[in-house]
Amino acid sequence: MIQSSHKSFQNKAEYSEEINSVLREIEKHINNDDLYNAVILANSSLKKYLDPLPFYSLLTKIFFAYGNAFWNDSVTELYKKLPGNIFSKCTYAKLCLEEKKLNEISKIFDNKYELRLLYPNQEYFDQHEIYVFYLVMAQYFSLLRDFEKAEKYLKFLESTFVCDAGISGVRRTFDRLSLYSYCEKTCEEISDVRFALNKKFLCLQAASKVIKNYEQTAPILLSILDDVLNKYKNKSTLDYIDFGRIDYILSLYLLAGFREQRAFPYIIRFLYLPSKIFGELLENIITESLSRMLISTYNGDIDQLKSVIENETLDSWARHAALKSLVGIFASNMISRKDLIGYFKRLYNLGFVKDRNTAYSFFSLACDIHPNELRSEIDDVVKNFYDEFGVTPEILEKVSKLSVENCLKLYVYSGTYYKPISNHVFEEMLWMNCFDFNEYIEIFSHIGRNELCPCGSCQKYKKCCIQKNIFDKIRTYA
């Protein structure tokens, strides 16, 4: 049984001035992305002061910090310099999990997935050490689909650290991947992929079948997009029956995950839909995923993107997605930065910036690719639209002082903002309600035999999913 030398995560209200001074110094190192010296100072303080709790708290803060490109480099450097430190190991492992480098985890922990095996000479482990280690293990084995081991770590965490947001996040991932794994094993039960993709409690099996048989099912996905586009190209409002429809969203993700260039003109057609329909059909994917879908399916026809960007009649978010995808296409080395800068200049001269939305779009994307060559255009945007979106000169100066290489590294190449949809397509879609494991349990637990089946078949539950034992299968699998 793992023992802990400290019983609480709670910080004390006050520390001595000496300790506060050390804490401020550690914070300064963290804020400067100097993780190595932050960890060295925290570790030495753990041995020096009677109450190590504030120093463990700062080490845990490093573990939970959001990573940008510089931070990620600093995490990697920290692990190289301190490969034996538990916080160094776990922070680097967390970075590898975020980047889907699962093979690295066994190397980091030398195939030892218990603290006692990893540190046989250490008698006690602080709760912060236990917490970060078990959290990494729970996430790692969830992603490996080894749910039995992941559940062991999660149960320990949930019984020891109650109502913790970090644990809840890993639990949600575990639940949804468990549900996906169930669907993957039962996907051959689906005979009509097109029908099932739009039925909430069948769509996951259908999506699993698409992944297993992509070449045969891709035309079905493209035809779903075509049907939606033809239905709404001349309409101004969404039909009531299509509220909550999910088949075309799943199709977009699946096609993008497989880098399907045949999907590119269909996505372009979505951008040409009337503004209200465009927003209602794609509301949940417009800001983050839509541009990444364009990058994923890009077929080399850059003129189609430019036509959208320069069309003043289209929705401003559609134009932003197209312009943002151009930056992503540059990040994927499909166009040069010189050509991209030249297009931004041409776009500004064409009068692209006319309101708050286009001003923000131009400003934010131009700064991401480094503002110096577009400085006169950006200065005009800031001057004319400062009150609209609150850009301060200080922000612009801070970005301008970066080298082009560091600016691109920080704002373009890091994270997923300008990257294609991952080929781990189910993990891209985990945010969707159809992956909500608890909702499956909740709805099927309370549905009456004579009520309409929640799968959308328009039959009574007793004549539909109750006969297929869907709820019992899901509950048993859980």
**Entry pTM:** 0.75
* pLDDT interval class at 200 (50, 70, 90): low
> Considering the chain, what percentage of its residues have pLDDT values greater than 90?
40
Continuous segment of H or E residues that includes residue 320: helix 316-331
Both tokens of 192, joined, read: 């009509």
| Nearest Cα to Cα of residue 408 among 357, 365, 359 | 365
Quick: pLDDT tens for 21-62. 888 888 888 877 788 888 888 888 887 877 777 888 888 877
277 within 8 A of 237, measured Cβ to Cβ: yes
What pLDDT sits at residue 4?
Answer: 38
Radius of gyration (C-alpha) of the chain in whole angstroms: 26
What distance in Å separates the CA atoms of residue 408 and residue 95, rounded to the nearest whole number?
A: 20
Sign of CA dihedral 301, 307, 310, 315: negative
Question: Quick one: average pLDDT of 393-402?
Answer: 81
What pLDDT sits at residue 192?
Answer: 82
Q: Taking 80 as the threshold, does the pLDDT of residue 260 lie above it?
A: yes
Question: Quick one: average pLDDT of 252-271?
Answer: 96
What pLDDT sits at residue 2?
Answer: 39
What pLDDT sits at residue 17?
Answer: 79
Cα distances (angstroms) measured from residue 291 to each of 295, 333, 355, 401: 6, 16, 21, 28
Both tokens of 195, joined, read: 């029908």
Minimum mean pLDDT among 9-18, 251-260, 267-276, 402-411: which range?
9-18
User: Which has more pLDDT, 16 or 282?
Assistant: 282
What distance in Å separates the CA atoms of residue 115 and residue 394, rounded to the nearest whole number?
A: 47
180 within 8 A of 426, measured Cβ to Cβ: yes
Question: Quick one: average pLDDT of 164-193?
Answer: 81
| Nearest Cα to Cα of residue 161 among 4, 46, 15, 39 | 4
Q: Taking 60 as the threshold, does the pLDDT of residue 469 lie above it?
A: no
User: Which has more pLDDT, 448 or 470?
Assistant: 448
Kindly state the DSSP code that residue 335 receives in the 8-state scheme.
S
Quick: pLDDT tens for 77-130. 889 998 999 999 999 999 899 888 899 999 999 999 999 999 999 888 888 899
Quick: pLDDT tens for 326-352. 999 999 999 999 999 999 999 999 999
List of residues 6+ apart from 386 with CB closer than 8 A: none
Question: Quick one: average pLDDT of 412-441?
Answer: 76
Q: Chain-wide mean pLDDT for the chain?
A: 83
What pLDDT sits at residue 39?
Answer: 87
Question: Quick one: average pLDDT of 216-229?
Answer: 94
What pLDDT sits at residue 234?
Answer: 81
What pLDDT sits at residue 266?
Answer: 97
What distance in Å separates the CA atoms of residue 417 and residue 202, rounded to the nearest whole number?
A: 31
What pLDDT sits at residue 67?
Answer: 59
> Considering the chain, what percentage of its residues have pLDDT values greater than 70?
86
Sign of CA dihedral 248, 262, 331, 324: negative
What distance in Å separates the CA atoms of residue 180 and residue 151, rounded to the nearest whole number?
A: 16
Minimum mean pLDDT among 3-17, 60-74, 160-174, 301-315: which range?
3-17
Where do we find the tokens 């949809």?
A: 421
| Nearest Cα to Cα of residue 325 among 385, 390, 271 | 271
Minimum mean pLDDT among 131-135, 201-205, 445-449, 468-472: which range?
468-472
Q: Taking 70 as the threshold, does the pLDDT of residue 401 lie above it?
A: yes
What pLDDT sits at residue 262?
Answer: 97
Q: How many residues does the chain have?
A: 478
Question: Quick one: average pLDDT of 453-476?
Answer: 62
What pLDDT sits at residue 392?
Answer: 64
Would you kindly state where each structural domain of the chain is located, as residue ranges? 17-162, 174-313+419-435, 333-414, 447-477
Q: How far is CA 261 from the centre of its chain?
A: 23
Where do we find the tokens 């779009």?
A: 361
Question: What 3-state DSSP class applies to 311?
Answer: coil
* pLDDT interval class at 11 (50, 70, 90): very low
Where do we find the tokens 């801070």?
A: 398
Minimum mean pLDDT among 238-242, 280-284, 357-361: which range?
238-242
Question: What 3-state DSSP class applies to 49?
Answer: coil
351 sits in the region (left: phi over 0; alpha: psi -120 to 50; else beta) called left
Sign of CA dihedral 292, 295, 298, 301: positive
Q: Taking 80 as the threshold, does the pLDDT of residue 476 lie above it?
A: no
Minimum mean pLDDT among 239-248, 269-278, 308-317: which range?
239-248
